[in-house]
Chain A
Amino acid sequence: MVTEVCRLTMRGIKKSFAGVKALRGVDFSLRPGEIHALVGENGAGKSTLMKILSGAYSLDSGEITIDGQPVTISSPRAGKELGIGTVYQEIELVDDLTIAENIYLDRLGQYGLVHWRKIFSEAEKFMRGLGFDIDVRQRVMDVSVAYKQVVEIAKVLSAQAKILILDEPTAVLTPRETDKLFATMRSLRDTGVSIVYISHRMDEVFAVADSITTMRDGEVTGGGPIGDFNVDRVVELMIGRKLSTMYPARNVTRGSEMLRVENLSGDVFRNVSFSLHKGEILGLFGLVGSGRTEIARAIFGEDGHSAGRLFVDGREINPCSPYQGLKAGISLVPENRKEQGLVLDMPIKHNMTMSNITSVSDRLGVVNRKRENALAQSLADKLTVKTDNIDNPVDSLSGGNQQKVVFAKWLNTGSRIVILDEPTRGVDVGAKVEIYNLMNQLVADGVAILMISSELNEILGMCDRTLVIDKGAIKGELTRTEMSEAGIMRLVVGGQA
């Protein structure tokens, strides 16, 4: 074997957050000029590892070498100087500035003056070099999400990055834009840049990567040249079990119609119609920005809708606020539990009883503490929330347990229609299975679930039917027997043609 100097080695990396082990001794290496896929479920530790590499987090123990030299990366700035560039999933551009300004934000000119001519011409040249012909004088807020992503990449590359970290860069891109990005990635690789490519999409991983590393629960579970792997093997390494045991089976017959949506239209979706029945889990699959979350919010009453009708149990409703949505018997587990689902510094028990405080308070609005404690404790036991005290702030829990508290809140309302927006995002594998079991139990009790997800496996494993949504419109419906990864992606891609 030829010994070759690695571009990057990370050895024995450990990191804990408030006592929770996020990385338990991870080894990771990159060769010069390769595209290296890093895969794992949400919460596996991929992002934490990459944040340590980029300098956003400090490591607890372990060592990093770049081109054979030991380095300490104490800040994002230090990471940048070492040639490490990161493009995060969330776009972090200054919307009000032009594309060129964003690319050269930290070196706009000299003596506090902006060298307009220079940054415009260089930005233009740079973008063309990447294969994108675009007016760099446009403000970022005026271009599409896909182009914003490209601007992010350009910004990072223009700082002479030799290690490029791409965290789910294709999540918001169309297939054609994805192809273009892949071509850019390949040409960068051929100039010697090492690329870490984080993605959930197996087909893309196998299309573009040269090698792969899989992670689960803060540990590396496998890795090597991509040719040594196939999809089933990778998924197994990611979830630590065969796919078939991840999603518990259920045997529930579909009942009467509980929710009917007729030609619902809003700012980012139009003419959405479907019905949801008692005892079923209906999937709503779409990419970020497809309008899936907005549809859920409109049904719940958080956002308005411009046209269309909603029926619950055959009765028309017109919810104008979550309060009215809840009154109509609808619950929503929102996509971002820290910002939308929980009051983080409030005790676990107060979060659990929030949506139905009247269940533990008297007519004067005084909370009965004994009843509240008993109720919250029984919910915590039922959902196996791992805590030694329900008086602790909900902030002290891990992601999966926080999500269980959100579920408990809605369980306590007795809603018959439950909308779940990415219910297992940022949740570890064990808690995921518990949440799936809970969903099955709810359905068995006669609840109707609408589950929004961008994880194909989850949709395939849990749903009775799936609606595929793209650009605010429903592209098709697949029954259980028709559902497959290829079938769903075909509907998404079909929408692009």
Chain B
Amino acid sequence: MSEHTKTGTQNAVDVLRKFLPVAVFAILVIISSFLSQNFLTSPNIFNLLRQNSATTIVSLGMLMVILTGGIDLSVGSLAAFSSVLFATLIDTRGNDPVPLGLALAFTLACSLAFGALTGYLVAFQRMAPFVVTLASMTAARGVAYMISHAKTIPIANELVNIFNKRSFQGVPYSVLLALIIFVLVALLLKYTCYGRFIQAIGSNETAVRLSGIRTSYYTMSVYMVSAVMCTFGGIIESRTGVGDARVCQGLELDAIAACVIGGASLSGGKGAAVNTLMGVLILGLIGNIMALMKVAPYPQQVIKGLIIIAAVLLQGRDKKR
């Protein structure tokens, strides 16, 4: 139908809107490089990336949950839980430490079980994701304190410290891991049936279910994916060389903010991996440049809040509301 063919300018506007977070990020980089001479130096850039690799990984898991129309408030707590569980398992002070691979597998399995329980309650018991993950957020943090007795657990394992502190050809390993996960999630969302279905579920779950698709399994699975991402995030956050139940406070809010700045709709169905990555980097960059310019921490938070609102305003109104 001719009424629906779009003009060239409309198309350009659509494309711009789609990749707006990329444009915003590019503009911020340019502005920042003028604001501070230290900004565009490789130590600073890698520092910025390293600081945000855990957030990137967790945000990508969050994106998958948000695409189905859900939300996962438990990510920060699960990351802390993973951090202390992993550190305890490889702790060399007391008994024999568990082999590294086994410790990682066990931590992942525990995290997966947490995610599976959350996902089960959301998908099969039809409980509100906000409520369920609010509960698991509280519980997981509690378990983390119980395991660690509220103390930090030093990590003496050579490999872990190499992973957290060294780099490969100049790129920190944690950044490399975040990059790999980003590419995987982007491909998953764009090219696979799985990615298509979780987005479709966020748009219209009833229609997908009535198409003969087992939507509950898909919905449950995204909480498990998110939990796995939390384990990676938590271990990366142990980069100071200790497992700690206090890490990743408020990570859930950063992850949600990153998704939203990246244009994801909290009512589901809309969002992209690349834009979520931009969301993380925009947030990180603002913090970075303000630190370089010696803005005090509390005003920093105010400015961050304003930028989240501005980013969402720029993307226009959510059609669904």
A residues near B (Cβ < 8 Å) are 18-20, 300, 302, 321-323, 325-327, 332, 334, 339-346, 350, 354-355, 357-358, 361, 364-367, 386-388, 392, 396, 409, 413
Residue contact B207 to A340, C-beta cutoff 8 Å: yes
Mask, B237-261, CB within 8 Å of A = 1, is 0000000000000000000000000
- Complex Cα distance, B3 from A342, in Å, reads 22
Residue contact B1 to A396, C-beta cutoff 8 Å: yes
Say yes or no for B209: interface residue by CB 8 A criterion: yes
A345 / chain B contacts, CB cutoff of 8 Å: 203, 269-270
Say yes or no for B109: interface residue by CB 8 A criterion: no
Closest to B187 in A: A366
Residue contact B210 to A322, C-beta cutoff 8 Å: yes
Closest to A356 in B: B212
Residue contact B212 to A325, C-beta cutoff 8 Å: yes
B125 / chain A contacts, CB cutoff of 8 Å: none
B residues near A (Cβ < 8 Å) are 1-5, 191-194, 196-197, 199-200, 203-204, 206-214, 269-270
A-B contact pairs, 24 of them (CB 8 A): A18-B4, A19-B1, A19-B4, A322-B209, A322-B210, A322-B212, A327-B212, A340-B207, A342-B207, A343-B203, A343-B204, A350-B196, A355-B211, A355-B212, A355-B213, A357-B193, A357-B196, A366-B192, A366-B193, A367-B192, A387-B1, A388-B1, A388-B4, A413-B212
Known: A322-B211, A343-B207. A20 touches B3 (CB 8 A): yes
Beyond A346-B203, A388-B2, 7 additional pairs, beta carbon < 8 A: A322-B213, A323-B213, A326-B212, A340-B210, A341-B210, A358-B193, A365-B194
Known: A345-B203, A366-B191. A302 touches B210 (CB 8 A): yes
A323 / chain B contacts, CB cutoff of 8 Å: 212-214
B207 / chain A contacts, CB cutoff of 8 Å: 339-343
Residue contact A354 to B204, C-beta cutoff 8 Å: no
- Complex Cα distance, B194 from A302, in Å, reads 22
Residue contact A350 to B212, C-beta cutoff 8 Å: no
- Complex Cα distance, B207 from A409, in Å, reads 12
Known: A323-B214, A340-B210. A367 touches B193 (CB 8 A): yes
- Complex Cα distance, B3 from A322, in Å, reads 36
A387 / chain B contacts, CB cutoff of 8 Å: 1, 4
Residue contact A339 to B203, C-beta cutoff 8 Å: no
A18 / chain B contacts, CB cutoff of 8 Å: 3-4
Residue contact B193 to A409, C-beta cutoff 8 Å: no
For A19, give its contact among B3, B192, B193, B269 (CB under 8 Å).
B3
Shortest CB-to-CB span from B270 to chain A, Å, is 8
Closest to B194 in A: A365
B191 / chain A contacts, CB cutoff of 8 Å: 366-367
For B196, give its contact among A19, A339, A367 (CB under 8 Å).
A367
A20 / chain B contacts, CB cutoff of 8 Å: 3
Residue contact A339 to B204, C-beta cutoff 8 Å: yes
- By CB atoms of chain A within 10 A, which of B3, B193, B207, B214 has the most? B207
Residue contact A340 to B214, C-beta cutoff 8 Å: no
- Name the prevailing secondary structure of the A interface residues: mixed
Residue contact A346 to B213, C-beta cutoff 8 Å: no
B204 / chain A contacts, CB cutoff of 8 Å: 339, 342-344
Shortest CB-to-CB span from A331 to chain B, Å, is 8
Shortest CB-to-CB span from B53 to chain A, Å, is 27
Residue contact A354 to B203, C-beta cutoff 8 Å: no
- Pick the 4 closest A-B CB pairs, nearest first: A19-B3, A326-B212, A355-B211, A343-B204
Shortest CB-to-CB span from A6 to chain B, Å, is 35
Closest to A326 in B: B212
Shortest CB-to-CB span from B284 to chain A, Å, is 31
Shortest CB-to-CB span from B272 to chain A, Å, is 14
- By CB atoms of chain A within 10 A, which of B1, B197, B210 has the most? B210
- Complex Cα distance, B204 from A341, in Å, reads 9
A358 / chain B contacts, CB cutoff of 8 Å: 193
Residue contact B192 to A343, C-beta cutoff 8 Å: no
B269 / chain A contacts, CB cutoff of 8 Å: 343, 345
- Complex Cα distance, B197 from A300, in Å, reads 21
- By CB atoms of chain B within 10 A, which of A323, A325, A339 has the most? A323
B210 / chain A contacts, CB cutoff of 8 Å: 300, 302, 322, 332, 334, 340-341
Closest to A17 in B: B3
B214 / chain A contacts, CB cutoff of 8 Å: 321, 323
- Complex Cα distance, B118 from A336, in Å, reads 32
- By CB atoms of chain B within 10 A, which of A366, A392, A396 has the most? A366
- Complex Cα distance, B192 from A361, in Å, reads 8
- Complex Cα distance, B3 from A19, in Å, reads 5
Closest to B191 in A: A366
A321 / chain B contacts, CB cutoff of 8 Å: 209, 214
Shortest CB-to-CB span from A469 to chain B, Å, is 21
Closest to B3 in A: A19
B203 / chain A contacts, CB cutoff of 8 Å: 343-346
Shortest CB-to-CB span from A319 to chain B, Å, is 10
A339 / chain B contacts, CB cutoff of 8 Å: 204, 206-207
- Complex Cα distance, B212 from A20, in Å, reads 32
- Complex Cα distance, B2 from A396, in Å, reads 11
Known: A322-B212, A339-B204, A345-B203. A388 touches B193 (CB 8 A): no
- Complex Cα distance, B210 from A286, in Å, reads 22
Closest to B214 in A: A323
For B211, give its contact among A364, A367, A392, A409 (CB under 8 Å).
A409
B208 / chain A contacts, CB cutoff of 8 Å: 343, 354
A413 / chain B contacts, CB cutoff of 8 Å: 212
Residue contact A392 to B4, C-beta cutoff 8 Å: yes
Shortest CB-to-CB span from B267 to chain A, Å, is 11
Closest to B216 in A: A321
- By CB atoms of chain A within 10 A, which of B3, B212, B270 has the most? B212
A327 / chain B contacts, CB cutoff of 8 Å: 212
Shortest CB-to-CB span from A329 to chain B, Å, is 11
- Complex Cα distance, B191 from A446, in Å, reads 35
- Complex Cα distance, B199 from A344, in Å, reads 12
Residue contact A388 to B192, C-beta cutoff 8 Å: no
- Complex Cα distance, B134 from A399, in Å, reads 42
Residue contact B193 to A361, C-beta cutoff 8 Å: yes
Residue contact A354 to B5, C-beta cutoff 8 Å: no
Shortest CB-to-CB span from A474 to chain B, Å, is 24
A341 / chain B contacts, CB cutoff of 8 Å: 207, 210
B211 / chain A contacts, CB cutoff of 8 Å: 322, 354-355, 409
A386 / chain B contacts, CB cutoff of 8 Å: 1
Shortest CB-to-CB span from B243 to chain A, Å, is 36
- Complex Cα distance, B3 from A396, in Å, reads 9
Closest to A325 in B: B212
Shortest CB-to-CB span from A157 to chain B, Å, is 34
Shortest CB-to-CB span from B71 to chain A, Å, is 20
A346 / chain B contacts, CB cutoff of 8 Å: 199-200, 203
- By CB atoms of chain A within 10 A, which of B1, B207, B208, B211 has the most? B211
- Complex Cα distance, B214 from A327, in Å, reads 12
Closest to A368 in B: B191
Shortest CB-to-CB span from B263 to chain A, Å, is 14
B197 / chain A contacts, CB cutoff of 8 Å: 357
- Complex Cα distance, B4 from A387, in Å, reads 9
Closest to A346 in B: B200
